[in-house]
Structure formats: C-alpha cells, structure tokens
Amino acid sequence: MHPTRWGDPAAAAPLPDSARGLIELAFGLEERPATEDPSVPAGQVEEAVLDGLRTLVGAEHVVTDDDTRRLRTRGKSTPDLLRARAGDLDDAPDAVVRPGTHDEVAAVLAFAVEHHLAVVPFGGGTCVTGGLAARREGYAGVISLDLVRMKRLLDVDQVSMTATLEPGLRGPEAEELLAEHGLMLGHFPQSFEYASIGGFAATRSSGQSSAGYGRFDAMVVRLTAATPSGRLDLGVAPASAAGPDLRQLMLGSEGVFGVITSVTVRVRRLPELKVYDGWRWPSFAVGAAAMRTLAQAGLLPTVIRLSDEAETGINLARPDEIGSDSAAGCLMIAGYEGTPAAVETRRAAVAAVLPVLGGTELGEEPGRSWVEGRFRAPYLRDSMLDVGVLVETLETATWWSNLDRLYTAVKGALETSLGEGAIVLCHISHVYETGCSLYFTVAAKETDDPIAQWEAAKAAAGDAIAAAGATITHHHAIGTDHKTWYRQEIGDVGVSILRAVKAELDPTGILNPGVLIP
Ligand SMILES: Cc1cc2nc3c(=O)[nH]c(=O)nc-3n(C[C@H](O)[C@H](O)[C@H](O)COP(=O)(O)OP(=O)(O)OC[C@H]3O[C@@H](n4cnc5c(N)ncnc54)[C@H](O)[C@@H]3O)c2cc1C
C-alpha cells in the first residue's frame, strides 16, 4: 500500500461521473495533487546496532531502504494520508526488522532493551488511531517489527473447532488457509484485505459479520506473546475460573505489553449458503428498535447493519450510483450464512418479526450491492481527498437506552464543528443484546489546514461521546488519538493498572512508546 492511499493501486478508480457531479455541487472540486513519493528522514540507528539485529533475524530481514520504511510509516487514518500527501513522513522507522519465529521476536525485544530502541509491532498497517506512530524522543532509534514473515497456520483442531494462526497472516490469507480444511474465521472488517491476525487481536477488532461470528477478541481462546520480561502462554480451556482472564490484558494492548506471536481462535465450517436481504425502515429510531428486538430475542442474522436517513440517501456502497434520495427511509442489511437449513430457519424467523416492527422487505438486490461495495469505501475516500474533500470516520458504542442521546450529540458536534455544507452520515455497525455501535462518516470541503479541521471535529465528537457516557472506540482502538478520552473512560485507577502492567512486562518502555497508555 502506498503511504498516501489505500489498498491496491490497480483497484483504485476515478470518481464515477454521477458521484463527481454530486460532489462538485456539494463541495466544489479542487484538485489536490499528492506528493506521490514523499521522502523519509535519514535513518538514525548506527550500523553496528543494525549488524546486531542482522545476526538475530538474518541480514536480508533488516531493511533500511526508503521504500520499505515509507510503507511502514503511520497507518491509514485520513490525517495519516494527509500528512503523507503533504510530504511529511517524519514518523518513519529507522529500520524494518522481520523476525520469522516467536524466538526471533523475543531475541529482537531483548536486543532492543539492551540498545534502548523503540519497537513498533507492525501487522497490516491499517491502524486509524495513531497506534503506529510511536514516540521517538529518548530512544536510540525506532524499529518497525514487521510480522510479515510469520504467516503459518500452526494447528487445526477439527474436534474442538479451533485453529492456531501466526500474527502476520492477513485476513484473506488466513481465510484461504482455513478454507483448505473446510473452515473459516468469519472476521471481515472493512480493512479485511490488508489487516492482520495479530493486528485484529491487538486492537480488539470487530468485523461486518460479528453479529453472527463474534468480535475478534471473542474468537481468541489462546494466545502466545513475547514480552521483554518473558514469554506468555495464555488460555488452557474454553472457560476458566482461574483468576482474572489475562488473555484480556493482551487483547487490545496495541503492542505496548508484548508482541502477539500466535493466537488460537475458534473457527466455523465454511457456510454453504450466504443470503443478504435489504429492509427499509421509516426512520433510524424505528430500525434501531427492531435491531434491539432481534438481538434480545436471540434472532440476530450473521450480518446486520442499519444506515440512517442521510447515509441511505447517499448510498455509499455504490459510488457509481451515488445520489440523494431522502424518501428512501433507512436501509438495513440483514445477511444469513450457514447451512441452507440454518439460513432458511433464521431468515424466516427474522422475516416474520421485522414487518410487525415496521420494516418493508426489499429483497436481495440491496444486499448484493452491499456485498459488492463493502470493501470499496476506502478507495472512494482517496478519490475525494484528490478533489479537496475531507472524508473521515469515527465510531463509538453505547447501551440501547442511551442510543438516541449519543446519536444526536455526536452528529450535532460533527455538524457544528465542520460547518455548513458538511455531510454527516451514520450507521449502526454492530449489535448486542444490551446496545450497539454507531459508525459515523463525514465529508466536508477541505479548509487550508484539513488536519486541523479534522482534529477539531474529532475533538468535538470525542467530547460529545464522553459527555454521553459512551465509549471512545468500539473497534478502532486507542492508539495515540484516543488517549485523552480513554483516561476519562477508565479513571485514574485504571490508568495506574495499565502503567503497573507496562512496568512489569516492559520495564524499559521500548514497546510502542506513547501508544495506548494515557
Ligand atoms: C479503511 C479502513 C477500514 C477499517 N475497518 C475496520 C473495521 O471494519 N473493523 C475494525 O475493527 N477495524 C477497522 N479498521 C481499523 C484497523 O483495520 C484495525 O484496527 C485492524 O485490526 C488493524 O490491524 P493491522 O494488522 O492493520 O494492525 P496494525 O495497523 O499493523 O497495528 C495496529 C496496532 O496493533 C499493534 N500490533 C500489530 N500487530 C501486533 C502484534 N502481533 N502484537 C502486538 N501488537 C501488534 C501495532 O503496533 C498497532 O499499535 C479499518 C481501518 C481502515 C483504514
């Protein structure tokens, strides 16, 4: 992936004419050529130290060329892309180190402690919260610990229905290996094509099918991590009353406590059938209430999501059909995966309930559109940045009883901060018995300083989220961007616990300095 863009350049497409027309009308078009190959600052790590790393992982796996360092700089939030587009890659690591085994990871960590090098674990590089931009000050250098060589499926247990995966496997690679055994993980975040197994675990990722298959942290039954203080092997049974669950300390730890070197995850049989239906709702509130009813009745489909009126009108899934149709109500996608019998039973049960709650069935076409377009939005973001339109997303979650308050507060905060003409879209992306997550997308004409423009909007939204008593992140994690609100969420005692764990596992603070811990 290029540092200024998302994904495979071959998959990028110019804005379709219809979308271009609408965007011109809404924001005007102002071509913003990006610096295509921003330069990285010279590496600071001494050659003798690099030689030491070479003896640990092999000379060919300590890489210092500009291209490789460029591609390991920061993540894929809009500010990350804007900084790279403006030619700023100041957070580039000095070297990229590629260990091939758990023991090599452990050896690199021990070496980094000795030489006081900051270590940034790197999976797919799709982080959107600043979790790959570690602090450099006070360290002899920064190395990106790229897990790209650790891509094995280590074990499959067809009886227990678990599989053990190495952290460097990207989403599609993991699914391909499992499919050879007739199995699947079922974790499909929008970043699926590039994000890695280790990254999913380190950020508590959630996917588009999490209603059916569960969040990634719920899938992990066992994990291994290398820490500067030694090896952690956690999880010996499907459930346990042996004290607090230490796996949970590593899940979501964003590389600050250790490097996750394998996870054992629960797996499913490959579905024989997948069907995705569309449902129309007269309003977001009525659709949300229907989702709550399904969740609390134990009737959730595998995929369920509900766009608000604005997002339904814009139809993000199909950039070539972007339009504004306020009469469209609110679109819900309900998808079912499994054996034909299981699909039929669940689909019939849902179809019996939803009309009673106010839904109108739209058939399979909206579902097909959503499936086709589900990984395209990040490419659309690039095209909009190219013409001077700021596009970014944020997400949160709350209890059902607090949903209206949160939705109104965050939408209002974003609209006020971004000003007249800004578009704020929202959908319910994940649903639980007790509540759900809200995922906001904004588009606004860029000011002269779009990073400051977004930071102001993000701060307003973060404050609104905190004031509404919701979480600052349902699945994007903390990184560096969310630390202020994370402190409010867990309180001073919570912060002290994190610091104590950090001091125990990483006493010299080499792992991802500045990330996660407020
Ligand atoms: C367009 C787009 C769409 C997205 N959609 C979703 C979505 O639908 N759902 C969702 O949950 N997220 C989504 N994200 C966010 C991101 O993809 C997730 O946070 C993902 O889990 C990160 O995985 P990664 O492999 O890319 O991790 P990276 O970006 O490489 O790393 C993320 C953090 O984890 C640490 N880390 C990585 N690997 C390890 C390891 N093995 N051990 C310890 N620490 C490690 C890193 O140091 C960093 O702090 C999206 C991002 C983008 C850009």
Q: Is the CB of 173 under 6 A from ligand 1?
A: no
Q: Is the CB of 200 under 6 A from ligand 1?
A: yes
Give, using CA atoms, the residue closest to atom 48 of ligand 1. Answer: 131
- Integer Cα distance of 453 and 392 in angstroms: 11
The DSSP string of 288-304 is HHHHHHHHHTT---SEE
Which residues are CB-neighbours of 136 under 8 A, at least 6 positions away?
A: 91, 118, 142
For strands 183-184 and 268-269, give the pairing. Answer: antiparallel
The neighbouring-strand residues paired with 390 are: 444
Rounded to whole angstroms, the Cα distance separating 133 from 480 reads: 8
Q: Could you give the CA distance from residue 512 to residue 149 in angstroms, rounded to a whole number?
A: 20
Helices 78-85, 450-467: inter-axial angle, 10-degree rounding = 170
CB 129 within 8 A of CB 79: no
Mean pLDDT by 10 residues, the chain (518 residues): 86 78 84 82 96 98 96 97 95 98 98 98 98 96 98 98 98 98 97 97 96 96 98 97 97 98 98 96 97 97 96 67 61 97 98 98 92 88 93 98 98 97 95 98 96 98 98 98 98 98 98 98
| Residue 11 burial (CB count, 10 A) | 12
pTM score over 0.85: yes
Q: Check if 7 has its Cβ closer than 6 Å to any atom of ligand 1.
A: no
Nearest alpha carbon to residue 222 among 213, 230, 232: 232
Best residue for ligand 1 mutational test, from 76, 77, 127, 437 (most atoms within 8 Å of Cβ): 127
> H or E stretch including 84?
helix 78-85
Alpha helices in 400-449 (DSSP H): 403-418
List, in order, residues 6 or more apart from 211 with CB less than 8 Å away.
Answer: 300, 301, 302, 303, 304, 430, 431
Residue 125 DSSP one-character state? S
For ligand 1, whether the C-beta of 256 sits within 6 Å is: no
Residue appearing with tokens 């495979």: 8
Q: How far is CA 146 from the centre of its chain?
A: 18
Q: Chain centroid to CA 103: how far?
A: 28
Q: Determine whether the shortest distance from the Cβ of 259 to ligand 1 is under 6 A.
A: yes
Q: Is 448 helix (H, G, I), strand (E, B) or coil?
A: coil
Is 505 close to ligand 1, i.e. is its CB under 6 Å away? no
CB 247 within 8 A of CB 223: yes
pLDDT at 317: 47
Q: Is the dihedral of CA 246, 184, 77, 70 positive or negative?
A: positive
Asked whether the CA dihedral 504, 507, 513, 518 is positive or negative, the reply is positive
What pLDDT is stored for residue 316 in this prediction? Answer: 56
Query: 95-97 and 142-146 as β-strands: parallel, antiparallel, unpaired?
Result: parallel
- Hey, is 37 helix, strand or coil? coil
The pLDDT of residue 327 is 58
Query: Hey, which of 74, 203, 510 would you mutate to test ligand 1's pocket, going by the most ligand atoms within 8 Å of its Cβ?
Result: 203
pLDDT score of 338: 97
Q: How far is the CA of 493 from the centre of ligand 1 (A)?
A: 27
Opening angle at CA 510, ends 507 and 512, nearest 5: 120
Task: State residue 322's pLDDT score.
Answer: 46
Phi-psi label, residue 322: left if phi above 0, alpha if psi -120 to 50, beta otherwise: beta
Residue 132, phi then psi, degrees to nearest 5: -110, 5
The Å distance, Cα 199 to ligand 1 centre, comes to 5
Please say whether the beta carbons of 331 and 276 come within 8 A: no
> Looking at ligand 1, which atom is closest to the CA of residue 126?
26
For ligand 1, the distance from its centroid to the CA atom of residue 81, given in whole angstroms, is 16
Taking the alpha carbons at both ends of the chain, their separation in whole angstroms is: 30
Ligand 1, residue 120: give the atom nearest the CA: 47
* Alpha-carbon torsion (458, 462, 468, 469), positive or negative: positive
Distance set, CA 163 to CA 17, 148, 442 (Å): 46, 19, 38
| Residue 112 structure tokens | 């980094």
Q: Whose CA is nearest to atom 8 of ligand 1?
A: 189
Q: Is the beta carbon of 164 within 6 A of some atom in ligand 1?
A: no
- Indicate which atom in ligand 1 lies nearest the CA of residue 381: 1
Does any ligand 1 atom lie closer than 6 A to the CB of residue 147?
yes
3-state secondary structure 469-516: CCECCCCCCCCCCCHHHHHHHHHHHHHHHHHHHHHHHCCCCCECCCCC
- 123 CB within 6 A, ligand 1: yes
Instruction: Among 73, 191, 475, say which to mutate for ligand 1: greatest number of ligand atoms within 8 Å of CB.
Output: 191
